[in-house]
Amino acid sequence: MTDPTSSDSGNPLSRGTSRRSFFVTTGAGIGFLALASCSNDTKTTSSSGTTAGSTAASATTTASTQKNVDVETAQLAAGLEVLAAGTSRAALDVATAGKLGAVPPAVEEYVTTAMAHHRAALDKWNGVLTGAGETAVTEPDATLKPIVDDAFSKVTDVNGAAALALMLEEIAAATYQKAVPTLTSKDAVTLAGSIQVDDAQHVAVLLFVSGQYPVPEVFAKTDKAAA
Amino acid sequence: MSPPLFQTRAHSNGSTANDVQILQTATSLELLAVAAYQAALGLLFIADGNAVVRHFAETTMSQHNGHADAFAAQTKSLGGEEQARPNPEYVAVVEETKPKPTGPAEVVNLASTLKTVATENYPANLALLEDRDSKGLFASVMGVECQHLATLRAVGALLAAGDAGIALIAIPTNVAKLPKAAGSVAFPAPFESTTMASPPEEGAVK
């Protein structure tokens, strides 16, 4: 069976779509570039305007921590998107091979659409990472990969595939939701929030397809967030 | 002397005031939604119509009430005044539309429009908030509001498909019979637009 979590280097959407257009349309790269450049800035200033000694060290630590929060979130998010896109690809492959039985048209359409969305999200995060001088993420989240691999190996039908997809989308939506209040760049907040919306909508449709009410909670929770 | 590059979290009075406005506007949109669903549930073809549509209207109205209460409480925690009125920009739209719907499709279309405003409001204004607890609340509510919109988009598409589509508005549904578009109509783009978002001051207490 195809490895569901391998990186998808052949993804046409992951090549060049969109770093430039993302910068143009949202300016998200600017915030991250600022973060990167600030991390190399040795001149520091305290909140009271005093420069020197422990205060400067404290400000440097703060700057470094804040830089790490946004970059680390982007890296985590990108790893999740690699995982989600790769799992979707693998699900389509086994479905096409007839290993899941009859696949309803709506389910095939869902998987195709969700895969494209995750690839687009991956492009965004890698765009801001490379724009900030960081390395693009091409490997799936290492913590979740073995869990998803194990679950995928047990999938034998469409219902099982939907349950796995639901698990992944719930994790992704919760991860973005948990990250949003911690992010320091407004562009990062908007991007993470926008992807949270999309992933939560995937969850709603998967719940409906699974025979459950699509909006079961009054407030979305973060207990399934990846760390 | 260089300004502190990451000195953006400190709370000035201005940022708190902006947060309060954003929360008041969010409250106003929730109250608008409650009013819209109350009106919808008064329509016979909703009250006595498809059980899932009715259940959705009842449940969603209740969830909006919960969101409004949470936003009001958060507004007060920041020292602001609770917004008790529905959004002034859109309340007229709801009032004008009330007598017009002749079937569930029109109600769902209106609800989708209002929900699009609400859903797009969250990622747009989330980035403008300074208070971390308010951001957390926004993200939590956003995760539910967008699911309402996804459901409305899907239900709207099924209603538009006629009797065959209406029969599929059921829980559980017949997945094998769902049209192909049911797999994508609920989320037409990978990133939700923010063009219909309300500006922070739109529903602020005047």
pLDDT average, residue stretch A131-151:
96
Segment among A15-19, A210-214, A219-223, B168-172 with least mean pLDDT: A15-19
- CB contact (8 A) between residue A196 and residue B136: no
Please list every residue in chain A whose beta carbon sits closer than 8 Å to the beta carbon of residue B138: 180
Query: What confidence score (pLDDT) does residue B101 get?
Result: 77
- CB contact (8 A) between residue B127 and residue A104: no
- Residues A100-130 have pLDDT tens digits of 999 999 999 999 999 999 999 999 999 989 9
Complex ipTM, two decimals? 0.92
pLDDT average, residue stretch B57-76:
98
Please list every residue in chain A whose beta carbon sits closer than 8 Å to the beta carbon of residue B117: none
Mutate to test the interface with A, among B5, B37, B192, B196 (most CBs of A within 10 A): B5
What is the residue extent of each domain of chain B? 15-183
pLDDT average, residue stretch B78-93:
94
Q: What total number of domains does chain A contain?
A: 1
* Residue A32 is assigned to a structural domain of this protein: no
Three-class secondary structure assignment of A36-51 = HHHHCCCCCCCCCCCC
In this prediction the pTM is 0.83
- In chain A, which residue's Cα lies nearest the Cα of B61? A218
Please list every residue in chain B whose beta carbon sits closer than 8 Å to the beta carbon of residue A212: 171
Q: Residue A43: pLDDT band by 50, 70, 90 thresholds?
A: very low
Closest-CA distance of chain B to residue A195, Å: 6
pLDDT average, residue stretch A123-149:
96
* Res A84 pLDDT > 80: yes
* Res A149 pLDDT > 60: yes
Query: What confidence score (pLDDT) does residue B98 get?
Result: 77
* Residue A100 is assigned to a structural domain of this protein: yes
Rounded CA-CA distance B38/B41 in Å is 5
Q: What's the CATH superfamily of B15-183?
A: Ferritin, core subunit, four-helix bundle (1.20.1260.10)
The residue whose two tokens read 């539910």 is: B144
- In chain B, which residue's Cα lies nearest the Cα of A62? B6
* Residue A149 is assigned to a structural domain of this protein: yes
* Residue A56 is assigned to a structural domain of this protein: no
* Residue A54 is assigned to a structural domain of this protein: no
For residue A203, what is the domain's CATH number? Answer: 1.20.1260.10
Q: Could you count the other beta carbons within 10 Å of the beta carbon of residue B145?
A: 30
Query: What confidence score (pLDDT) does residue A67 get?
Result: 56
As given in the structure block, the two tokens for residue A47 are 């909140």
* Residue A214 is assigned to a structural domain of this protein: no
Report A:36-95 residues touching B (Cβ under 8 A). 38, 41, 43-47, 49, 51, 59, 62-63, 66
Q: Residue A8: pLDDT band by 50, 70, 90 thresholds?
A: very low
Q: Kindly report the average pLDDT of chain A as a whole number.
A: 78
Domain that holds residue A189: 68-209
| Chain A contact present for B105, CB below 8 A | no
Query: What confidence score (pLDDT) does residue A38 get?
Result: 35
Q: Where are the alpha helices (DSSP H) in A1-134?
A: 18-26, 28-39, 53-96, 105-131
- Helix, strand, or coil here: A104? coil
* Residue A38 is assigned to a structural domain of this protein: no
* Res A135 pLDDT > 50: yes
Rounded CA-CA distance A148/B38 in Å is 43
- Residues A155-189 have pLDDT tens digits of 999 999 999 999 999 999 999 999 999 999 999 99
The residue whose two tokens read 């921590």 is: A65
* Residue A23 is assigned to a structural domain of this protein: no
Question: To the nearest whole percent, how much of chain B has pLDDT over 90?
Answer: 84
Rounded CA-CA distance A30/A136 in Å is 17
Q: ∠ CA B170-B174-B178 to the nearest 5 degrees?
A: 100
Question: To the nearest whole percent, how much of chain A has pLDDT over 70?
Answer: 70
